[in-house]
A and B are shown apart, each in its own frame.
Chain A
Amino acid sequence: MNYTLLTPEIIICCTAMFILVIDLFLSQGAKKLLGWIAIIGLICAMVAVYNSPHGLAFGNRSFVVDSFAIYFKYLLLGIGILVVFSSMDYLKDRTSHHGEYYFILLLVIMGTLFMVSAGELISLFVSLELLSIGSYVLVAYLRTKQGIEGGIKYLLFGACCSAILLYGLGIIYGMTGTTEIKGIGEFLSHNDKGCALLLGLAFTLVGFGFKIVCIPFHFWVPEAYEGAPTPITGFLASASKVASFAVFIRIFIEGFGGIRQEWIMALIVLCILTMAIGNLSAIPQANIKRLLAYSSIGHAGYLLIGIIIGTTSGLSAVMFYLLVYALTTLGIFTVIAIISNKINTDEIDGYTGMYKRSPFLCLCMLICLASLAGLPPLAGFMGKFYLFAYAIHSGYIYLAAIGFIFSTISVYYYFRILKSMYFGDVKDESIIPTPFLLRLILILIMLGLFLIGILPQTFISFALESAKGIGCVNL
């Protein structure tokens, strides 16, 4: 037993409990303090991750801390801090229940931290459910009609897919006799795979396809993204996706890497469908959160290319792209949250002439959307560059070509948003106030995007070092 490996998770759990208790003693005016407590907890957890040794917490692989997990923990805690900052402003006038919100948010972040460390099916399933159940609540948290509708759809789809995933995990356990992902990999390299195992594999793919949002398991996404409070939409689009991809990599590369030829074809089909339908459905959307929901489906398609490549460098490209994508998405959703505080709508029509009302927010939106679309010299360009370059290097030229075509199409609908922001008549000329703190954070995100875009070497080599934590089958 080595509890020091669990320090970041323990810190976050204690902070969450502390927030729940202290909430009872705070007056309505002092609720803002809760957000700060959450941020302090997350920063402490980040320091703990920095000092964390590598190893196994419980002797078996139920909690693994390796370089792969550490990379994702930094990323997830960073996302957590940004989400809490943008929630503090967003929640101010919308609800009086702040304590429970931060409590659930922190527990969900803890769930994602456990997920990236899970090297074993039981801990994997439990942490996955910790993330899911918390997210259901957060989506419906403000109890608006849209929120509840999004919550119900997310819940029913999510519960159904986790039941399918569990059935698949059950079959895999029955066939291999172990729940350790590495053990499954070793078993498959020595023994013959049966038909039943492939059935288990297919069910597992459905379960994870739901979590990482690929077509055709995406029906909940537009509703949940549109209905959820905007910071939570940012969280679902970034943290939930990042952690799910981490788990997906662990189980499909570390566990099923040996029987790659059995699932690679299915994954290629899913990848192409996801890129195509995600990007094409985004074009006619009138609601900005819905549009970004479909665009996030498209990005899941690009990310799948890296998993199809399956080498250490391919995984490093996925991890780098996740970093870039999370940063960009959070920037966009922070801007949307600030704007919707004032104009109370997420329709793109409402953004007409926004340039006159807040040039700063428009500039942020411009840079973030350009990065999502993959224009140089921004971070998004480097992310796509590495992903497509490794795809071509490994012989998946057609995937790189399809990805390139669809990312060109995505420029169209991203710039449609910008067009209505920068051009068009202004009906209401009132200034949109931006709190100082969020202004600072947005500036930092912009600088980060430029920095990663111009000096990607540091980040990609860090990702490469971390990707070595996963034992890739040499191709």
Chain B
Amino acid sequence: MCLTNYLILSAIFFCLGIYGVLVRRNAVMILLSIELMLNAANINFVAFAKYMYPHMLTGHIFTMFVIAIEAAEVAVALAIILSAYRHMKSINVEDINLMKW
């Protein structure tokens, strides 16, 4: 295994994430796609840290911070989506358009 393989893997994940964000209409699925994008970035950090700068821990530490932040973000996101469901009985982003663009 070399660095390039990991970078390609992360690029594929990132593109899948962007694709999901653009085509999915369910708020939770969009959130999942965003998680995929964040994890693609995480793979990048760890791969770079392991193959290019093995004597430093910066990349690993960055990843750990990102994982913690992701958890916080998802907690807040699910809370907001839940209260949207209570109000509008739907979490389809196309139904959530009381205000025009």
Point out residues on A near B: beta carbons under 8 Å. 121-122, 125-126, 129, 133, 136-137, 140, 143, 145-146, 148-153, 155-156, 159-160, 163-164, 166-167, 169-171, 173-174, 177-179, 219, 222-223, 226-227
Chain B contact-residue range equals: 35 or more
CA distance A219 to B45 in the complex (A): 30
Distance (whole angstroms) from the CB of A136 to the closest CB of chain B: 6
- One of A125, A150, A167, A222 near B40 (C-beta < 8 A): A167
> Which residues from chain B contact A137 at a C-beta distance below 8 Å?
76, 79-80
Give the residue name and chain of the B residue nearest to A200 (CB): B44
Return chain A residues, CB-CB under 8 Å to B84: 148-149, 151-152
Other A-B contacts than A125-B69, A129-B72, A148-B88, 8 sampled, CB-CB below 8 A, are A126-B69, A137-B80, A152-B96, A156-B30, A166-B66, A169-B41, A170-B44, A173-B48
Report if A171-B65 is in contact (Cβ < 8 Å); known contacts: A136-B76, A148-B87. no
What's the least CB distance linking B94 to chain A, in Å?
Answer: 12
**Known: A122-B61, A136-B80. Contact between A177 and B53, CB under 8 A?**
yes
Q: Kindly state the separation between the CA atoms of A323 and B54 in the bound complex, as whole angstroms.
A: 44
Query: In chain B, what residue has the closest Cβ to A128?
Result: B69
Q: A129-B73, A149-B96 are in contact. Are A170 and B83 (CB under 8 A)?
A: no
What are 21 pairs between A and B in contact, CB < 8 Å? Answer: A133-B73, A136-B80, A137-B80, A146-B98, A148-B87, A149-B96, A149-B99, A152-B81, A152-B96, A155-B77, A155-B80, A159-B34, A160-B34, A160-B37, A167-B14, A169-B41, A170-B41, A170-B48, A173-B59, A174-B44, A174-B47
Count of CB-CB pairs between chains A and B under 8 Å: 116
In the bound complex, residues from chain B placing their C-beta under 8 Å from that of A150 are 99
B73–A179 CB distance below 8 A: no
Which of chain B's residues has its CB closest to A171's CB? B44
**Contacting residues, chain B, for A152 (C-beta < 8 A):** 27, 80-81, 84, 93, 96
Q: SS class of chain A's interface: helix, strand, loop or mixed?
A: helix
Asked if B98 and A166 sit within 8 Å, CB to CB, the answer is: no
A122 touching B65 by the CB < 8 A rule?
yes
Task: Compute how far the CA of A151 lies from the CA of B83 in the bound complex, rounded to whole angstroms.
Answer: 10
Given A125-B66, A133-B72, also A159-B31 (CB < 8 A): yes
Cα A150 to Cα B100 in complex, Å, equals 11
Interface residues as binary, B15-36 with A (CB distance below 8 Å gives 1, 0 otherwise): 0010001000001001100100
B99 to chain A, nearest CB (A): 5
Chain A CB count within 10 A is highest, among B47, B76, B79, for B76
B residues contacting A by CB (< 8 A) are 14, 17, 21, 27, 30-31, 34, 37-38, 40-42, 44-45, 47-48, 52-53, 56, 58-59, 61-62, 65-66, 69, 72-73, 76-77, 79-81, 83-84, 87-88, 93, 96-99, 101
CA distance A170 to B53 in the complex (A): 13
Residues of chain B with a CB closer than 8 A to A173's CB: 45, 48, 58-59, 62
Q: Which A residues lie within 8 Å of B59 (CB)?
A: 173
Cα–Cα distance between A133 and B42 once the two chains are bound (Å): 19
Asked whether, in the complex, the Cβ of A156 is within 8 Å of the Cβ of B27, the reply is yes
- B89 to A: closest C-beta gap in Å: 12
Chain B minimum-CB-distance residue to A143: B83
How far does the Cβ of B74 sit from chain A's closest Cβ, in whole Å? 9
- Bound complex: CA A170 to CA B63 (Å): 10
Q: Within 8 Å CB of B45, what residues of A?
A: 170, 173-174
B31, chain A: closest CB distance, angstroms: 7
A149 touches B37 (CB 8 A): no
Q: Is A121's CB under 8 angstroms from B62's CB?
A: yes
On chain A, the residues within 8 Å of B62 by CB distance are: 121-122, 125, 170, 173, 179
Which residues does chain A contribute within 8 Å of B88, judged by CB atoms? 145, 148
Contact assessment for A219 and B80 in the assembled complex, using a CB-CB cutoff below 8 Å: no
Taking CB atoms, residues of chain B closer than 8 Å to A156 are: 21, 27, 30-31, 34, 93
Q: Nearest chain A CB to B50's CB is how many angstroms away?
A: 11
* Chain A residues whose C-beta falls within 8 Å of the C-beta of B14 in the assembled complex: 167
Inter-chain CA distance A143–B38, complex, in Å, is: 28
Residue of B48, B87, B93, B98 contacting most chain A CB atoms (<10 Å): B98
A133: chain B residues at CB < 8 Å are 69, 72-73, 76
CB distance from B17 to the nearest CB of A (A): 7
Known contacts A125-B65, A179-B62; is-contact A223 B80 (Cβ 8 Å): no
Which of B48, B76, B98 interacts with A155 by CB under 8 Å? B76
Give min CB distance, B44 to chain A, whole Å: 4
Neighbour of A174 across the interface among B48, B93, B97, CB < 8 A: B48
Is the pair A129, B34 in contact by a Cβ cutoff of 8 Å?
A: no
